[in-house]
Structure 1
Amino acid sequence: MKALISIDYTNDFVATKGALTTGAAGQAIEEAIVMVTKEFTQNKDFVVYAIDRHDQKDPYHPENALFPPHNLANSSGRNLYGKLAEVYEKSREKANVYWIDKRHYSAFSGTDLDIRLRERGISEVHLVGVCTDICVLHTAVDAYNLGYKIVIHKHSVASFDPVGHEWALNHFKQTLGAEIIE
């Protein structure tokens, strides 16, 4: 059994004026990420939207010192970007679609993701979204440590750092044994 984990494809990370945008790189993967998400949703595979949720008033969150405020609770910056928002709205009530608010880079850190995957007998996770070298990477490392097979959809991940993006793609394959789908 397999699941799709869609990571942080939001206005703040993708829109031209997003608070921490990948810009053109993130926008360029829109069609691919929508296509993969529709395929998983229609096949009734488990589809997880793992989305950053921050509180600007939280003085203890380490990201507050590293990045500008982004994906703030109840802000439009946290909304899914472009056509992915439409895909989610059409499928959000389906039993195979699940939304996770995440506080850290990894979709597994501090969430019930591992429990949700295991109760469904899922052993293979497909990752899409942004940023390749931050949230996608940390999710992949945790998936590896938890024993999941990892599949990265190369044309459905992006970063604001092209060097970090390429490094992460290599790391997924060479260090985590991930399958990279071209």
Structure 2
Amino acid sequence: MKKALLVIDYSYDFVAPDGKLTAGEPAIALEQSIADRIDAADKNGENIFFMMDLHYENDTHHPEHKLFPPHNIAGTPGRELYGKVLEKYKEIEGQDNVFFLDKTRYSAFSGTPLHHLLKERGIDTVVLTGVVTDICIMHTAVDAYNSGYGIIVPESCVASFNPDGHKVSLEHFKNTLGATVEP
């Protein structure tokens, strides 16, 4: 098994108490666990992908426009990685095994070079961390499954603003996608 760590949407807007679309305390509680995962992946020489939601001011054509308030707007502080995750990124930024990719849909695979980068590096398993469990983590997990990747979801590294959606998603990962859900 050759793994890659995906850190999905762990931005100020999704995590900070005053973020534009915050998951709040559940997301803040992930900070150290995700930072620890980044450290471990880096020490093991694994590839680390920071997948960041990207939106543009006044974009009325994006499908999320009608569903959510504006968030993760290009060039704003809300789009920056949050807390210790930002610190870890700054420590490893520029390494050959570290990538920062923009995404404009829920899934980290949709419209990004992620699949290509994973395949050319011989990666067969993705470790999904970040927010929001029942939206971007879920859609990424489904696309990973449909593309033939093994999936690991550390429960201590994913969160949602919807506790019921979070719980259902963890069950879906295990029972429908065959993912390993770790503590």
TM-score of the aligned structures, taking structure 1 as reference length: 0.99
Indicate the residue corresponding to 1:54 in structure 2: 55
Offset at residue 57 of structure 1 (A)? 2.6
Whole-angstrom distance in 1 between the partners of 2:90 and 2:37: 16
Indicate the residue corresponding to 2:92 in structure 1: 91
Indicate the residue corresponding to 2:162 in structure 1: 161
Whole-angstrom distance in 1 between the partners of 2:39 and 2:65: 34
Whole-angstrom distance in 1 between the partners of 2:146 and 2:123: 15
Offset at residue 41 of structure 1 (A)? 1.4
Whole-angstrom distance in 1 between the partners of 2:158 and 2:48: 16
- Please state whether the residue corresponding to 1:155 is helix, strand or coil: helix
Whole-angstrom distance in 1 between the partners of 2:27 and 2:97: 25
Q: Deviations for 1:20-66, whole angstroms, at most 9, x for unmatched residues?
A: 00100000111111101111012110000000000123221010110
Whole-angstrom distance in 2 between the partners of 1:75 and 1:166: 31
**RMSD between aligned alpha carbons?**
0.6
Whole-angstrom distance in 2 between the partners of 1:38 and 1:103: 27
Amino acid at match of 1:142: D
Indicate the residue corresponding to 1:124 in structure 2: 125
How many corresponding residue pairs?
Answer: 182
Indicate the residue corresponding to 2:138 in structure 1: 137
Amino acid at match of 1:57: N
Whole-angstrom distance in 1 between the partners of 2:65 and 2:50: 23
- In the TM superposition, 1:1-20 aligns within 5 A as 1-20=2-21
List structure 1 segments (4+ residues) > 4 angstroms apart after TM superposition. Answer: none
Unaligned 5+ runs, structure 1: none
Amino acid at match of 2:87: E
% identical aligned pairs: 49
Unaligned 5+ runs, structure 2: none
- Please state whether the residue corresponding to 1:152 is helix, strand or coil: strand
